Amino acid sequence: MSTNSLELEAPVTASTKPAARNARLDGHPLMPYLLVLPATLYLVVFQIFPLMQELWLSFTSTSLLSSGQSDWVGLANYRDLIGDPDFRKAILITLVYTVVCVVAAISLGLLSALLLDAPFRGRGFARAAVTIPWAAPPVAVALVAIWIFNAQYGVFGHVLRFFGLESGALNWLDSMNYALPAVLMITIWQIFPFASVVILAALQGVPHEQREAAIIDGADRLNVFKAVVWPTIQPSVMLLALFSTIWSLRRFDLIWLLTQGGPVGATNTLVIDVYRRAFVNQQLGQGAAVGMVGVAIALVVTVIYFKYTARMAKAEQR
Amino acid sequence: MNMSSTRHTLRLAAVLALLGAAAFPIYWMFVTSLTPSGNLFAARPQLLPSFSELHVYKDIFAAKPVGRWLLNSAIVAVGTTLASISLAVFPAYALSRFRFRGKGAIGFGLFTTQMLPEAMLVVPLYALFAKVALLNSLGGLILANTAFTVPVVVWILKGAIDGVPLEIEEAARVDGCTRLGIVMGVVLPLIAPTLAAASVIAFFHGWNEYVFAQTFITEDRLHTASVGLAGFVGELSTPIHSVMAVGFLYTLPAVAFYLMVQKHVVAGMTAGGVKG
């Protein structure tokens, strides 16, 4: 695992690797450790230590009201979760939320990147403007979204009613059926520009001659994309998928302010569930257990990603 | 010829639709803030701002401590940026230039911290901060936020340092520069655009952060804009155009700042191999 993690940088640094190898020869052998020490200590204190504490909490029955006393209960919290329908629903909601976010953000990102890749007047402006959602603070986005989705006066309902759609009479964020789609729409709006920027940057590496040769050969657009464009941008898209997955698994403020996980758990992702159990139900131990499950899922996704990219790299060498 | 001009028109239409969708919620925040109260709940929404309503932006400063909120957010954002960059420069340099035992583990450790949600660590961090009197302090928020930005910033800077030719460093060494002198005087200026990109990402994190600011701060005068604004959710006494005015004031600096350095952000992120 630890060596595989360097795959992350492989595409960019391949050319500079030999130089870096020589560099180790000079300087004191302890120099690199000295350089990484402050940040490592910092992360141990503010990330690793709290994580360990949270892990420990997950084996206790600590409550927010009596955090002084906490009894060791072993795996009881985890066992309770297995039989808890709310928790099962939270897992399902998390998976749906994450998969839709990742697929939609990357598809929209790819589409917009292809649009903004071709030359046209005002392209620079368009490339900058499309990233606005990504720069907007989630709390402000949540607030304006709540207003836009307001059942009576929100502009979203106005538009739906204009097209004669009955769902325009509902407040989507308050509806069992429409809350998750609404939260997804808002999230995707906020995150797709990141995918767009990354894919647009990757598109700059597509070899022009090959692309033109393929067009001259009479290949249609889809085939050019498959044969020339996709292989170049594929590593970036994979990395994007990994990061979007991890970020979607841990997204909190936007969802919390939009729906607090409701109505009746319709948008209750694992991270919302962690917060809800800890601060609303005041069950710190239970909340911690849910959090650990979330981290485990993120870890599994990451391992799959690295295994997959490692296999891809091997296949290419052959 | 005709075919390609149709295609061009279609493309422009698609681009316009895309930009419209991207900008609409922010535009709507602005329009709502400048809609007279009487029109807010009209049967047909007002689509253009009424500039005679600009006094709303003056009134909210009197009604709510908006100036204080924005100032606190700015302090947290700038503090997070400075702390993140100073903590990240040296490990980024080490990960780029040296091969050493445990390097892979550190790289993976950095990546792993990306998986930890703030909402989960808020409980143990609260307990920790309570012990060392860091609750109700903007400094405490900066410390907590920096823990979440350092890994990303390290990755981005490392990618940029990878791109600095070693010969340049060697030349500086021949001239008698120390290692510290080389990093500060030679490497950092060369990766300035990426530093700008990493700074924007750290700044955004501090400016936007909500969970810690909501949980660690109970004193009104220390509330950040994210918490102040979130306080309007479900609150009915503040008119919606005032709420949107605060939201717009909170959004505008972030978007403007981003647009100013946007080119560097894209370049920096690409250099970092997109560590996000």
CA distance linking residue B161 with residue B154, whole number of Å: 10
Quick check: is A30 in a domain?
no
Would you state the torsion angle of the CA atoms of residues A40, A46, A48, A49, taken in this order, to the nearest 10 degrees? 120
A72: β partners:
A60
Please give chain B's pLDDT, 276 residues, in tens.
Answer: 466 788 888 888 999 999 999 999 999 999 999 988 888 887 778 889 888 888 889 999 988 999 999 999 999 999 999 999 999 999 999 998 888 888 888 888 888 888 899 999 999 999 899 999 999 999 999 999 999 999 989 988 988 888 888 888 888 888 888 888 888 888 998 888 888 888 988 999 999 999 999 999 999 999 999 999 999 988 878 889 999 999 999 999 999 888 888 777 766 666 554 433
Nearest to B94 among A32, A131, A155 (CB): A32
Number of domains in chain B: 1
User: B73 to chain A: nearest residue by CA?
Assistant: A137
Which of A198, A53, A263 is CA-nearest to residue B130?
Answer: A53
Quick check: is B35 in a domain?
no
Quick check: is A4 in a domain?
no
The 3-state DSSP class for residue A222 equals: helix
A140-171 pLDDT tens trace:
999 999 999 988 888 898 888 888 887 777 88
CA distance linking residue A80 with residue A281, whole number of Å: 15
Quick check: is B82 in a domain?
yes
CA distance linking residue A157 with residue A176, whole number of Å: 16
CB-neighbour burial class of residue A221 (10 A; exposed 0-12, middle 13-18, buried 19+): exposed
pLDDT at residue A302 is higher than 90: no
What are the chain A neighbours of B118 within 8 Å (beta carbons)? 250, 252
CA distance linking residue A123 with residue A120, whole number of Å: 6
Interface A–B counts its CB contacts (< 8 A) at 309
Interface test with A, best of B35, B97, B148, B184 (most A CBs within 10 A): B97
What are the chain B neighbours of A68 within 8 Å (beta carbons)? none
**Alpha helices (H) along chain B:** 2-33, 37-40, 55-63, 66-97, 103-113, 118-131, 138-162, 166-174, 179-182, 188-190, 192-208, 211-216, 225-230, 240-271
Q: What is the pLDDT of residue B88?
A: 95
Chain B touched by A252 (CB under 8 Å)? yes
Q: Residues 40 to 79 of A: which have CB under 8 A from any B CB?
A: 40, 42-43, 46-51, 53-54, 57, 67
Q: Under an 8 A CB cutoff, do A31 and B26 touch?
A: no
Q: Under an 8 A CB cutoff, do B166 and A19 touch?
A: yes
CA distance linking residue B188 with residue B56, whole number of Å: 44
The set of residues, in sequence order, having a beta carbon less than 8 Å from that of A183 and lying 6+ positions away, is A97, A173, A254, A255, A258, A259, A267
User: B252 to chain A: nearest residue by CA?
Assistant: A136
CB atoms within 10 A of CB A276: 23
Element (H, E) at B217: none
Interface test with B, best of A34, A36, A111, A149 (most B CBs within 10 A): A36
User: B11 to chain A: nearest residue by CA?
Assistant: A115
CA distance linking residue B146 with residue B74, whole number of Å: 14
Q: What is the CATH number of the domain that holds B243?
A: 1.10.3720.10
DSSP A139-207: HHHHHHHHHHT-TTT-HHHHHHHHTT-GGGGS-GGG-TTTHHHHHHHHHHHHHHHHHHHHHHHHHTTS-
Quick check: is A87 in a domain?
yes
Q: Which residue has the tokens 């006393």?
A: A69
Quick check: is B12 in a domain?
no
Overall size of chain A counted in residues:
318
Interface test with A, best of B8, B111, B274, B275 (most A CBs within 10 A): B274
Nearest to A299 among B18, B115, B124 (CB): B115
Of the candidate ranges A59-68, A294-303, B215-224, the one whose mean pLDDT is the lowest:
A59-68
CA distance linking residue A314 with residue A4, whole number of Å: 12
CA distance linking residue B83 with residue B202, whole number of Å: 9
Which of B95, B180, B169, B200 is CA-nearest to residue A12?
Answer: B95
DSSP annotation of B220: G
Q: What are phi and psi of A60, to 5 degrees?
A: -125, 170
| Amino acid at site A116 | L
Distance to chain A for B51, nearest Cα, Å: 20
What are the chain B neighbours of A200 within 8 Å (beta carbons)? 266
What are the chain B neighbours of A193 within 8 Å (beta carbons)? 22
Distance to chain A for B4, nearest Cα, Å: 13
For chain A, give the percent of residues with pLDDT over 90: 48
The 3-state DSSP class for residue A268 equals: coil
Q: What is the pLDDT of residue B72?
A: 97
Q: Under an 8 A CB cutoff, do A201 and B270 touch?
A: yes
Quick check: is A42 in a domain?
no
End-to-end CA distance of chain A: 22
Quick check: is B24 in a domain?
no
CB-neighbour burial class of residue A222 (10 A; exposed 0-12, middle 13-18, buried 19+): exposed
Mean pLDDT of A3-16: 37
CA distance linking residue A59 with residue B27, whole number of Å: 48
User: A296 to chain B: nearest residue by CA?
Assistant: B115
Q: What is the CATH number of the domain that holds A176?
A: 1.10.3720.10
Q: What is the pLDDT of residue B68?
A: 95
What are the chain B neighbours of A47 within 8 Å (beta carbons)? 113, 116, 121, 147-148
Nearest to A153 among B41, B147, B254 (CB): B41
Structural domain harbouring A205: 82-317
Q: Under an 8 A CB cutoff, do B276 and A278 touch?
A: no
The 3-state DSSP class for residue B100 equals: coil
Q: What is the pLDDT of residue B107?
A: 84
Q: What is the pLDDT of residue B174?
A: 84
Q: What is the pLDDT of residue B70?
A: 96
Q: Under an 8 A CB cutoff, do B275 and A298 touch?
A: no
What are the chain A neighbours of B87 within 8 Å (beta carbons)? 38-39, 42
Distance to chain B for A228, nearest Cα, Å: 20
CA distance linking residue A293 with residue A95, whole number of Å: 13
A80-106 pLDDT tens trace:
999 999 999 999 999 999 999 999 999
Number of domains in chain A: 1
Quick check: is A310 in a domain?
yes
User: B93 to chain A: nearest residue by CA?
Assistant: A35
Chain B touched by A224 (CB under 8 Å)? no
Chain B touched by A298 (CB under 8 Å)? yes
Q: What is the pLDDT of residue B271?
A: 57
Quick check: is B155 in a domain?
yes
SS (H, E, C) A107-140: HHHHHHHHHHHCCCCCHHHHHHHCCHHHHCCHHH
In the structure encoding, which two tokens stand for residue A145, read together?
């979204």
Chain B touched by A318 (CB under 8 Å)? no
The set of residues, in sequence order, having a beta carbon less than 8 Å from that of B205 and lying 6+ positions away, is B77, B80, B145, B148, B149
Q: What are phi and psi of A72, to 5 degrees?
A: -70, 120
Nearest to A115 among B11, B41, B95 (CB): B11
Quick check: is B45 in a domain?
no
* Whole-structure pTM value: 0.88
Quick check: is A14 in a domain?
no
Which of A113, A122, A132 is CA-nearest to residue A202?
Answer: A113
Q: What are phi and psi of A54, to 5 degrees?
A: -65, -40
The whole-angstrom distance between residue B111's C-alpha and the CA centroid of its chain comes to 19
Chain B touched by A16 (CB under 8 Å)? yes
Would you state the torsion angle of the CA atoms of residues A209, A212, A218, A223, taken in this order, to the nearest 10 degrees? 80
What are the chain A neighbours of B33 within 8 Å (beta carbons)? none
Would you state the torsion angle of the CA atoms of residues A168, A170, A174, A175, taken in this order, to the nearest 10 degrees? -90
Distance to chain A for B49, nearest Cα, Å: 15
Mean pLDDT of chain A: 85
Are B43 and A152 a contacting pair, CB within 8 Å? no
Quick check: is A53 in a domain?
no
Are B112 and B49 a contacting pair, CB within 8 Å? no
- The answer to whether the bond into B45 is cis (omega within 30° of 0) is no
Q: Under an 8 A CB cutoff, do B211 and A197 touch?
A: no
Structural domain harbouring B144: 65-271
Q: What is the pLDDT of residue A68?
A: 63
Q: What is the pLDDT of residue B43?
A: 74
The whole-angstrom distance between residue A302's C-alpha and the CA centroid of its chain comes to 12
CA distance linking residue B173 with residue A239, whole number of Å: 36
What are the chain A neighbours of B173 within 8 Å (beta carbons)? 26
Q: What is the pLDDT of residue A43?
A: 94
Chain B touched by A296 (CB under 8 Å)? no
Mean pLDDT of A102-116: 95
Quick check: is A262 in a domain?
yes
Confidence of residue A291 (pLDDT cuts 50, 70, 90): very high
Q: Which residues of B82-107 are buried (b: 16+ CB within 10 A; e: fewer)?
A: bbbbebbbbbbbbbbbbebeebeebb
A60: β partners:
A72
Give me the interface pTM, i.e. the ipTM: 0.90
Quick check: is B15 in a domain?
no
Which is it for the CA torsion A287, A94, A144, B265, positive or negative? positive
What are the chain A neighbours of B148 within 8 Å (beta carbons)? 47
Which is it for the CA torsion B254, B259, B263, B269, positive or negative? positive
